[in-house]
Amino acid sequence: MHGLSGRSLLMGAVLVVAVVTAANSARGGARLPLRPTLATAVVAGAEGSCALTSAGGVKCWGYNGEDQLGTGQQGVVASAVPVDVSGLATGVAALAGGDRHTCALMSAGGVECWGMARSGQLGDGTTTRRLAPVDVVGLSSGVRAVAASVNSSCALTTAGGVECWGSNTSGALGDGTTTNRSAPVDVVGLSSGVTALTVGCAVTSAGGVKCWGGSYGLTPVDVFAPGSGIVALTHTCALTSVGGVKCWGRNDRGQVGDGTTVDRATPVDVVGLTSGVTAVSAWGGHACALLSTGGVKCWGENDFGQVGDGTTVDRPSPVVVAGLSRGVTAISAGVFHTCAVMRDGRVKCWGVSGVGQLGDGSKVNTGLGSGDPAARRLTPVAVVGFGPRATTTIVSQLVAVTPRRLAILTLRCGAPARCRGTVTLTARGRGTLGARSFSIPAGSERAVAVPLSARGFRALVRVRRLSAQARASYEQVAGVTVAAVHTIVLAAPGTR
């Protein structure tokens, strides 16, 4: 479904006018501040990603050559950290991501889209790309789900019908033609009775699946018979009512997950995933499953590490994503990268990273090829700004130093996040006296023994008491470091 190869993806944007990095600013563009927040869902596309926040807002990161970040501003071509989507601070219920466009289902039942519009995939009746979200024609209410693919979008109405818009060259809109549509059209024969959908396939209330486009033809045909127990779809994979995963189609990179690279015209079980799965996401040459245990397994194409097992070896059967054996609540497979939402509201991504699509603040370099390690992350990295806010307080005031040169400070970590960082002691005219890393569970206090340098200890012994500055630098949320600073008094051993 994608016309991009793994070795040409990063060459799509050569000129970077403005890049937003973790330094919290845009060179040549507007200032785009980071605000710590919690994520509830994520969608990964071709060269970017977006997350739904707990407040019902949307933040996006990655390439912006088609305005798919939705900032409402010109001149920002890529962002390596999340930025706010204009006008969507609240009121969003769900997201769907295409290659270079995104659609949002509003809590009031309407649909808004932004980004690339050459094929009409924004649904506003034009082919004009938009800096910020626009309403989809005729869908201001009455929608309960939305889906997006390469250059097409679809909506499931509250009446159980399906409407689609955008690219239709392969019949992806299911209206019996190959004419692109810049506004929604009905999918033939699916005016009611649909319970779930992806672009090109729908689950019926009878438990069957109908698909259209490409080899299926211009109107829906049965892929799963009624009563087959399918409850959800993504690309060419399905989730069953017993928590199993079945996939079909092209299998040259192992993306069907049956342990082979043989194309499958009909659905087959994914190895080891006949039960225990709560969600599945597939796109391009790889797929991932969210397990009931909160772990993630992926399979298929792995040129950029999008499978997440620490290698670039294709996997024809599922493997565990490194570091994600539990704690995950949502997943999304993009073209060459993958993202996951953690139970505590953090977001982690892995795979290709050349244009900021992992959101970890890495330097954007659109000229990197697939063979350059700097253009990929083989295991999950944290997206900047998401997660619970950590708070560290320096409790100590008078600090007794032991004969072994240890200054014992008490630090307090507030709820709800663990505090990790480094506490450094300095004194005017004497420079750095010592430093020590710390990791403190949320809601607790810990003694941190800071070893003083020999020079610093001798200076303390001479004066017996020494005013010093304690600075606890810690990660408040992913990618955002702050510091707690407190003046203390160091007391030499034996000082009363």
Count the residues in the chain. 496
Residue 366: per-residue pLDDT = 59
Mean pLDDT confidence for 61-68: 94
Look at residues 163, 478, 306 and name the one whose alpha carbon lies nearest to residue 298: 306
Look at residues 22, 37, 131 and name the one whose alpha carbon lies nearest to residue 79: 22
Residue 395: per-residue pLDDT = 97
- DSSP letter for 386, please: B
Residue 232: per-residue pLDDT = 95
**pTM of the full structure:** 0.87
Residue 2: per-residue pLDDT = 36
- Read off the amino acid at residue 219: T
Task: Decide if 496 is inside a domain.
Answer: no
Same domain, residue pair 219 and 251: yes
Mean pLDDT confidence for 345-356: 94
Residue 385: per-residue pLDDT = 93
Residue 362: per-residue pLDDT = 84
Task: Decide if 4 is inside a domain.
Answer: no
Is residue 391 over pLDDT 90?
yes
Same domain, residue pair 367 and 405: no
Rg of the chain, C-alpha, whole Å: 26
Q: How many domains does the chain have?
A: 2
Same domain, residue pair 65 and 21: yes
Query: Chain-centre distance of CA 370, in angstroms?
Result: 21
Mean pLDDT confidence for 28-44: 67
Q: What is the mean pLDDT of the chain?
A: 90
Model confidence at 25, pLDDT cuts 50, 70, 90, reads very low
Helix (H) or strand (E) holding 456: helix 454-463
Same domain, residue pair 55 and 106: yes
**End position of a domain, from candidates 382, 417, 438:** 382
Model confidence at 415, pLDDT cuts 50, 70, 90, reads confident
Is residue 23 over pLDDT 50?
no
Mean pLDDT confidence for 419-426: 97
How does pLDDT run across 82-127, given as a tens digit for each residue? Answer: 999 999 999 999 999 999 999 999 999 999 999 999 999 999 999 9
Same domain, residue pair 117 and 230: yes
218, two tokens: 């211009």
Helix, strand, coil: what percent of the chain each, to 5? 5, 45, 50
Asked whether the beta carbons of 307 and 347 are under 8 A apart, the reply is no
Domain that holds residue 415: 392-491
Task: Decide if 456 is inside a domain.
Answer: yes
Mean pLDDT confidence for 253-282: 97
Task: Decide if 198 is inside a domain.
Answer: yes
∠ CA 119-122-126, nearest 5°, is: 65
Same domain, residue pair 367 and 404: no
**End position of a domain, from candidates 342, 361, 382:** 382
User: E strands of 158-311, at which residues?
Assistant: 162-166, 181-186, 194-198, 201-204, 209-211, 221-224, 230-234, 237-240, 245-249, 264-269, 277-283, 286-291, 296-300
Same domain, residue pair 377 and 426: no
Calpha distance 45→99 (Å, rounded): 5
Alpha-carbon separation of residue 249 from 2, 178, 230 (angstroms): 14, 22, 17
- CA-based torsion, 62, 65, 71, 76: positive or negative: positive
Q: Where is pLDDT greater, at 25 or 164?
A: 164
Mean pLDDT confidence for 408-436: 95
Phi/psi for 291 (5° steps) reads -85, 160
Task: Decide if 3 is inside a domain.
Answer: no
CATH number at 339 reads 2.130.10.30
Bridge partners (DSSP) of residue 401 are 407
Torsion-angle region of 11 (φ positive above 0: left; ψ -120 to 50: alpha; else: beta):
alpha
Model confidence at 372, pLDDT cuts 50, 70, 90, reads low
Please give the share of the chain, as a percent, with pLDDT higher than 90: 84
Task: Walk across the sheet containing 230-234 and list its strands.
Answer: 230-234, 237-240, 245-249, 264-269
Same domain, residue pair 369 and 463: no
Q: CA torsion angle for 463, 469, 470, 474 (degrees, to 10)? A: -160
Model confidence at 31, pLDDT cuts 50, 70, 90, reads very low
CATH number at 471 reads 2.60.40.2550
Same domain, residue pair 185 and 116: yes
272, two tokens: 């080891």
Model confidence at 280, pLDDT cuts 50, 70, 90, reads very high
Residue 479: per-residue pLDDT = 87
Is residue 28 over pLDDT 80?
no
Calpha distance 429→420 (Å, rounded): 28
Same domain, residue pair 373 and 468: no
Task: Decide if 280 is inside a domain.
Answer: yes
Model confidence at 367, pLDDT cuts 50, 70, 90, reads low
Task: Decide if 75 is inside a domain.
Answer: yes
Task: Walk across the sheet containing 194-198 and list its strands.
Answer: 194-198, 201-204, 209-211, 221-224
Residue 235: per-residue pLDDT = 85
Residue 24: per-residue pLDDT = 37
Please identify which residue in the block is written with the tokens 């569970």: 441
Same domain, residue pair 351 and 401: no
Asked whether the beta carbons of 445 and 419 are under 8 A apart, the reply is no
Calpha distance 480→34 (Å, rounded): 8
Phi/psi for 456 (5° steps) reads -65, -40
Residue 14: per-residue pLDDT = 24
Alpha-carbon separation of residue 80 from 236, 296, 304 (angstroms): 30, 24, 17
Q: Lowest-confidence range among 63-77, 155-169, 290-304, 369-383?
A: 369-383
Calpha distance 83→76 (Å, rounded): 11
356, two tokens: 């900021």
Model confidence at 16, pLDDT cuts 50, 70, 90, reads very low
Residue 453: per-residue pLDDT = 96
Is residue 9 over pLDDT 50?
no
> Terminal CA-to-CA distance of the chain, rounded, Å?
76
- DSSP letter for 322, please: T
How does pLDDT run across 293-341, given as a tens digit for each residue? Answer: 999 999 999 999 999 999 999 999 999 999 999 999 999 999 999 999 9
Please give the share of the chain, as a percent, with pLDDT higher than 70: 91
Model confidence at 53, pLDDT cuts 50, 70, 90, reads very high
Model confidence at 12, pLDDT cuts 50, 70, 90, reads very low
Helix (H) or strand (E) holding 97: strand 92-97
Task: Decide if 19 is inside a domain.
Answer: yes
Asked whether the beta carbons of 431 and 418 are under 8 A apart, the reply is no
**End position of a domain, from candidates 382, 417, 437:** 382
Please identify which residue in the block is written with the tokens 């969600």: 279
- DSSP letter for 99, please: S
Same domain, residue pair 87 and 118: yes
